[in-house]
Structure 1
Amino acid sequence: MTDLTNLTVKESSDLLQERKLSSVDLTKACLERIASLDPKLHAYLEVFADDALMAAQGADMAIRSGHAVGPFHGVPFALKDIVHVKGRVTTGGSKARGREKADVTAELARRLFSAGMILLGKAHTVEFAFGAWGTNQHMGAPRNPWDMTTHRNSGGSSSGSAVAVASRMAPWAIGTDTGGSIRIPAAFCGITGLKTTAGLIPTDGVLPLSNLLDTIGPLARSVEDAAILFDVLRGQGGTADPSLRRGVKGLILGALDDRNRAVVAPAVLENYDRALEKLASLGAEIVVLRSLPEFDQFSDVASAIMAMETYSFNRALFDDDKAPLDEQVRGRVRRGIKLFGGDFQQVLREQEKLRASLDRELAGVDALLTPTVPVTAIPVSEVDTTTLNPGYFTRPVNLAGRCGLAVPNGFSAEGLPTSLQIVGAPGAEAMILRIGFAYQNATDWHLRQPKLG
């Protein structure tokens, strides 16, 4: 059999159910890869090797005994360390939170355990999940696996989750997305990431950044995996929507106008245009939306909401100048709560205006296509000084209550991934997954892997 860590969730599931693969062997393969690569990549905060192997043994026994188990029984995964698991520490990426163990298990994690999935470990995150580059001053920044010479950013805040999946240290991982925190790391790391509509997947037992904007979703190696995992996370059986394989013929897809194209790096823009051409060749109609709002208008509103809410959740820490907080995160909060004079109601009014303007412009299309991020990954040493905005195209999706899918669509001359974002209406996950699946069925960018030795 080929390297087990190359298997997708769907492939692993099929082999496990056919008894051609054991969960123990699959879990061991992941753990061995973690032991080999994670000292360099820094994706995991904590690995639960013994417990994972014990759970895998139990999964194999259940399958061999003929018990009625779900299709993903025995499939391993990684969990972003803002999600509570009873008896485990949830750091939220912060030294300031201490080492208290959670006394509850988040509903989304409970659903995964009920489906028989195997927790490999907790993945690194930006402190309080508040940061798009993926850095963490006190706990370290995961390394983008596409450059083993220069330490480049992995994207945030679900940094460790994305690196674990991209480097095949996990078949898939849980992320959260408040302003792009699934899609941005998926883009920088060359994998697939699904930002779901707020409220579809419960956030109970997840450390909040913003109750208004927080969402849960999978980081995976393919749209097909994302589609079936989305179903599991919703508490269903793990079946992709029947529309997944219908293709894009007859769909109307919106494309960027010149104002919003102007912020995009040349390599990213070139691959974006090629993706549009590919979808057009598959039968979609591409329409340039010339009255789109400039997306940078959304950034201040998103920053204000996230800053004001996370400050309210962690007021004692942010008011304590001696608390060991990441200074970049502290700065984001301080700047954000000063926007709009600290008037939260005004921020909400501005959010509604922007949502309405985007809704009007997208009313005639089945989905909007943008680059996921305007640039490729940059050296971590440049993150603190750059003026680039990685959330330029992702934050509007959260503010407008929409869903979004990031899929790999090529590479720069330096060998760094670029990504296409597919944006749908609230609750239109089936539509964006359908478009993404058609694109991946006609391309092989999602099959490329970083060379890690």
Structure 2
Amino acid sequence: KTHTVEFAMGGWGTNEHLGTPWNPWDLAVPRTPGGSSSGTGVAAASGMAPWGIGTDTGGSVRLPASWCNLSGLKTTIGRVSTYGILPLAPSLDTPGPMARSVEDAALLYGAMPGADPRDPRTLSAPPQPDVMPSLRRGVKGLRLARMPAGERDGCTPEVLAAYDAAVDALGRLGAEIVDLALPCRFADATRAVGRIIASEAYQLVGKLVDDPNLPIDPAVRPRIQPGARITAPDYLAALAERDAMKRTFLAAFEEVDALLTPTTQTPPIPIDTIDQSTTPAFFTRFVNLLELCALSVPDGFTATGLPLSLHIICRPYDETTALRIGWAYQQATDWHERHPSGL
């Protein structure tokens, strides 16, 4: 077992009481490792383990993968059983692998899916195709969409430069790069996910976060407590909004095989500069809201050697296509082969 954010409620990866895992890509300045599965990301990146498993409610596999230079897969709800996992928001939680390469992540993922009567959602999931043979099919003939220009705001120049170079590389490998008009903004999805997470999390751990005598992480408590103010009609309205957004998005998504974005808007920032009232999950939360799957893969470094990441988003239950695209990209690049120095 590894460190995580308390209740898995946070994308920065910090833990006030048990300590924040040190991002191995900067041994001089403590930087965010990404969360909530921070310990898994740091352990795999620093060579303590070949791979690991995290849970992803709004980006908790992909964010540490991004900031620790790993490949991390967010699976579709129902693809992998959540039995035995401490829930945060059951309608959004899903487990997934992190590893130093897409191939390693695919090996681990291939052992994870399957029907489990203890998680009824797995019983209705379509069969998982054989993962490893599909990796090597390449990307020729696939239609990959760029993110809309309006969603580039907020990204650092180095994030955008790495992203644009990654998209161009996939085009050179034979994919058709297209533009896609999205029916909703990422920011709208981020807010909608926040309401659902707060509501469901409060129902599970509200009594704990409301107890002033318990040493709850001061960054986590205010993320969960707003759930007390979300009424049943408010929650049902949020679920209805989710269903409507999912229908319109999937209709638009029929034109492409994947949508490409950066995983994060910034490289890993110093821990002492984090604004805990914000979330780094701008590009990741909507994947959970719409019940899609997505893969985070390394796509470069900043001038100071901090990792950057590409986010490959696919339709529900199409993890094999996300892995196929990521594997093809890693055959043409070596970002994932670089490891932290001094370890």
With the shorter chain as reference, the TM-score category is over 0.9
Paired residue type of 2:142: L
With over 3 angstroms needed to count, the CA separation of the structure-2 counterparts of 1:292 and 1:270, relative to structure 1, is farther
1:151 and 2:30 are equivalent in the alignment: yes
Q: Give the unaligned 5+ runs of structure 1.
A: 1-121
**Preserved CA contact (<8 Å) 2:206 2:225:** no
Distance across 1 between alignment mates of 2:181 and 2:192: 23
Aligned counterpart, 1:350: 241
For residues 238 and 450 of structure 1, the distance between their equivalents in structure 2, rounded to whole angstroms, comes to 34
Unaligned runs of at least 5 residues, structure 2: 116-127
Which secondary structure does the structure 2 equivalent of 1:274 belong to? helix
CA distance 1:396–1:340, change in 2 (3 Å): farther
Correspondence list, 1:13-92, <5 A: none
Partner of residue 172, structure 2? 281
Where in structure 2 are the equivalents of 1:345-424 lying within 5 Å?
345-384=236-275, 387=278, 389-424=279-314
In structure 2, relative to structure 1, the CA distance for the partners of 1:338 and 1:378 (3 Å cut) is farther
The 8 Å contact of residues 206 and 228 in structure 2, kept in 1 or not, is answered as no
Residue number in structure 1 paired with 2:47: 168
C-alpha separation in 1, matches of 2:331 and 2:240: 41
Aligned residue type for 1:298: A
User: Does 1:434 find its partner at 2:310?
Assistant: no
Question: Given the superposition, is the C-alpha separation of residues 399 and 378 from structure 1 closer, same or farther in structure 2, using an over 3 Å criterion?
Answer: same
Q: TM-score, normalised by structure 1?
A: 0.70
Structure 1 residue corresponding to 2:134, chosen from 239, 243, 247: 243
- SS of alignment partner, residue 53 of structure 2: strand
Deviations 1:204-226 (A, max 9, x none): 11100011011011110111111
Q: Please, which of 219, 233, 236 is the counterpart of residue 328 of structure 1? A: 219
Counterpart in the other structure of 2:17:
138
In structure 1, the residue matched to 2:66 is 187
SS in 2 for 1:175: strand
- Measured after TM superposition, the shift of residue 241 of structure 1 is 3.6
Q: If you compute each CA radius of gyration, which structure gives the higher value, 1 or 2?
A: 1
The match for 2:156 is: 265
Kindly indicate whether residue 190 of structure 2 is the aligned counterpart of residue 299 of structure 1: yes
- Name which of 213, 221, 233 aligns with 2:92: 213
Contact 1:232–1:238, Cα closer than 8 Å, also in 2: no
> Is the contact made by 2:79 and 2:114 (CA closer than 8 Å) also made in structure 1?
no
**Per-residue deviation, 1:314:** 1.3
SS of residue paired to 2:308: strand
Identify which of structures 1 and 2 has the higher relative contact order when contacts are C-alpha pairs closer than 8 Å and 6+ apart: 2
Q: Distance in 2 between matches of 1:449 and 1:333?
A: 36
Partner amino acid, structure 2, of 1:255: R
Distance 1:401 1:290 in 2: 19
Structure 2 match to 1:54: none
Q: Quick one: distance in 1 between partners of 2:259 and 2:129?
A: 26
Amino acid of the structure 1 residue aligned with 2:134:
S
- Residues 260 and 338 (structure 1), Cα distance of their counterparts in 2 relative to 1, 3 Å cut: farther
SS across alignment from 1:327: coil
Using the alignment, how far apart are the partners of 1:246 and 1:442 within structure 2? Answer: 14
Task: Give, in whole Å, the separation in 1 of the partners of 2:57 and 2:140.
Answer: 32
User: C-alpha deviations, 1:207-253, integer Å up to 9, x for none?
Assistant: 00011011011110111111111111125999634221010001000
In the other structure, the counterpart of 1:15 is: none
| Percent identity between the two aligned chains | 49
- Tell me which amino acid in the other structure corresponds to 1:176: T
The one-letter code matched in structure 1 to 2:168 is E
Q: Which amino acid aligns with 1:140?
A: G
Aligned counterparts of 1:172 and 1:132: Cα–Cα separation in 2: 20
Match of 1:419, as an amino acid? S
Q: Distance in 2 between matches of 1:385 and 1:310?
A: 18
Q: Which amino acid aligns with 2:188?
A: Q
CA separation of 1:370/1:287 partners in 2, compared to 1, >3 Å: closer, same or farther?
Answer: same
Alignment-mate amino acid for residue 310 of structure 1 = A
Contact 1:253 1:369 in 2 (8 A): yes
Q: How many residues align?
A: 331
SS in 2 for 1:450: coil
CA pair 412-386 structure 1, distance change in 2 beyond 3 A? farther
- Residue 329 of structure 1, CA deviation: 0.7
